[in-house]
Amino acid sequence: MIDRSEEKDIVVEHRFIPRDQDIDDEIAWAKINTDVLQSMERPRPLYWVIFFASLLLFSWGVYCEIYQYQNGLGVADLNNPQVWGLYIATFIFWIGMSHSGTLLSAILLIMHADWRKPIFRFAEAMTTFSLMTAGLFVLVHLGRVWQFYYVVAYPNERWVWPNFNSPLVWDATAIGTYLTSSVVFLYFGMIPDLAICRDAASGFRKKFYWLLSLGWQGTDRQWANFRVAYLTIACFLIPLAVSVHSIVATDFAVSQQPGWHVTSFPPYFVAGALYSGCAAIITLFIILRYVFRFEAYMTMPILDKTCRLTFAIAMVWTYLNLIEYASVWYGNDMYAKQALIYRATGSYAPFWWAMNILGSIVPFALAFKSLRANLKIMMVVSLLLNLGMWLERFMIVTPTFAHGYYPWTWTNDWWPSWVQWGIVIGSFGWFTMLFMLFCKLFPTVSMYEVKEMVFHRKSSRQAKK
């Protein structure tokens, strides 16, 4: 256990990091190991409280799903125009979340932005878990989930293919690939750290890490292979990440609904995905930094960079959003225009305005250095941004169905039933649960990369001298 008596001076500890440095390059490698490994030690009671709370949420979601499975989707109060409801909205939300990890670990890796190193690990974990959550929503929303394998193209007794024209088949393929490769990427990147854990751990834990670390010894040969493989997977992952959310976008862009039939949807979705992902990273950054005392690694300058990155993406998203409105407004598609006006003035208008304010106005908080330096404000802001992003997905699905081509089926007062809410909330429980497990089983900060970072910083500083 960690001695809690030194808390005060830990809190002000970032004082001695020079402003221009992301991390204190004098920090000892051994300290890095101990600091990170302590995060994996026996959890505090609060941990269990939160853990079981999220477990409870998750099991409530499971109950709702079983109830819906038995009685049919009718209990979700979906109906003829409103065929998708919250399930698809939340599905997009989680897919979006998943893009942060790839951004930090793969894209920034290629761009040699080494400030990513202390924070990309948990971002990747986030990617994996949110993808798993998103996958669940695909299944949850199916009418006959026990037949989901019809979508997969495999040699079968019925002699029929899936319909390769359908974006859903693309979805299934892309998400499947993305999930596997991000799991591989996450695991692969952890191998050296797992070896460290193996050496530090004892008892059955030792066995566990011994198995996972695949006999990593840190020989030059291993490092060489490792680097190549890691880079390869990273390069493989980047186009995948972009394609996945573009495909999710095509689910809508390919279809006919007024308001969906927009060419700018794929970039719009990708931007939105990175946006919500970064917001989520900020949230978790602050939480982990506080909970695990990672002030030495998740330093303010890194948060600052992350926030600036987020702000940039937010602006891109805002731009694409405005483009979408403008193209509808100045275009002569009467149906799409009606749909847009309905969103801004109809019964879902409050959500629409909230979405636009949270998505495009609130991020300006990230533009101010003073605010960026304030953890509490950043926490609130990041949560607001994610709320905004969820509302965006809600606005894409529900009002479109409520005000489609066919006036006879227009609905003004559709609202999801408790079953839908239950499953959505359950998914958050599920995500939190997985993430908390991860924090205790695996190092949330990549030790070897931090060491590299420290080493590089130090050597370059000495070179400057």
What distance in Å separates the CA atoms of residue 440 and residue 451, rounded to the nearest whole number?
21
* 43 binds other proteins, rule: CB under 8 A: no
* 21 binds other proteins, rule: CB under 8 A: no
Name which position in 158, 376, 464, 465 contacts other proteins (CB under 8 A): 158
* 162 binds other proteins, rule: CB under 8 A: yes
Which range, of 152-160, 302-310, 349-357, 372-380, touches other proteins by CB under 8 A? 152-160
* 52 binds other proteins, rule: CB under 8 A: no
What distance in Å separates the CA atoms of residue 151 and residue 141, rounded to the nearest whole number?
14
End-to-end CA distance of the chain: 41
What token pair was written down for 392? 């965006």
- Least spacing, CB of residue 328 vs other proteins, in Å: 16
* 161 binds other proteins, rule: CB under 8 A: yes
- Least spacing, CB of residue 184 vs other proteins, in Å: 9
- Least spacing, CB of residue 5 vs other proteins, in Å: 42
* 462 binds other proteins, rule: CB under 8 A: no
Name which position in 401, 431, 435, 448 contacts other proteins (CB under 8 A): 401
> What is the identity of the amino acid at 172?
A
* 332 binds other proteins, rule: CB under 8 A: no
Name which position in 50, 168, 316, 349 contacts other proteins (CB under 8 A): 168
Which range, of 142-150, 276-284, 372-380, 386-394, touches other proteins by CB under 8 A? 142-150
Residues 246-275, interacting with other proteins (CB under 8 A): 251, 254-257
- Least spacing, CB of residue 219 vs other proteins, in Å: 7
What distance in Å separates the CA atoms of residue 93 and residue 424, rounded to the nearest whole number?
11
* 341 binds other proteins, rule: CB under 8 A: no
Are 189 and 183 a contacting pair, CB within 8 Å? no
* 406 binds other proteins, rule: CB under 8 A: yes
Count of residues touching other proteins (by CB under 8 A):
66
Residue 162 CB-half CA count within 13 A: 18
Cα 275–346–322 angle (5° rounding)? Answer: 35
* 142 binds other proteins, rule: CB under 8 A: yes
3-class DSSP string for 315-338: HHHHHHHHHHHHHHHHCCCHHHHH
What token pair was written down for 263? 């060419």
- Least spacing, CB of residue 201 vs other proteins, in Å: 17
> What residues have CB less than 8 Å from 104, skipping those under 6 apart?
116, 119, 120, 123, 124, 281
* 74 binds other proteins, rule: CB under 8 A: yes
Residues 197-226, interacting with other proteins (CB under 8 A): 214-217, 219, 222, 225
- Least spacing, CB of residue 167 vs other proteins, in Å: 7
Are 195 and 237 a contacting pair, CB within 8 Å? no
Using CB atoms within 10 A of its CB, is residue 371 exposed (0-12), middle (13-18) or buried (19+)?
A: middle
* 157 binds other proteins, rule: CB under 8 A: yes
- Least spacing, CB of residue 115 vs other proteins, in Å: 29
DSSP three-state, residue 346: coil
Phi and psi angles of residue 290, each rounded to the nearest 5 degrees, phi first: -75, -50
* Comparison of 113 and 235: residue with beta carbon closer to other proteins: 235
* Comparison of 40 and 78: residue with beta carbon closer to other proteins: 78
* 187 binds other proteins, rule: CB under 8 A: no
What distance in Å separates the CA atoms of residue 435 and residue 440, rounded to the nearest whole number?
9
DSSP three-state, residue 299: coil
* 233 binds other proteins, rule: CB under 8 A: no
Q: How far is CA 460 from CA 25, 216, 448, in A?
A: 10, 29, 18
Binding residues for other proteins, rule: CB under 8 A, are 71-75, 77-84, 141-145, 147-148, 150-151, 154-169, 172, 214-217, 219, 222, 225, 229, 251, 254-257, 334, 338, 401-402, 404-413
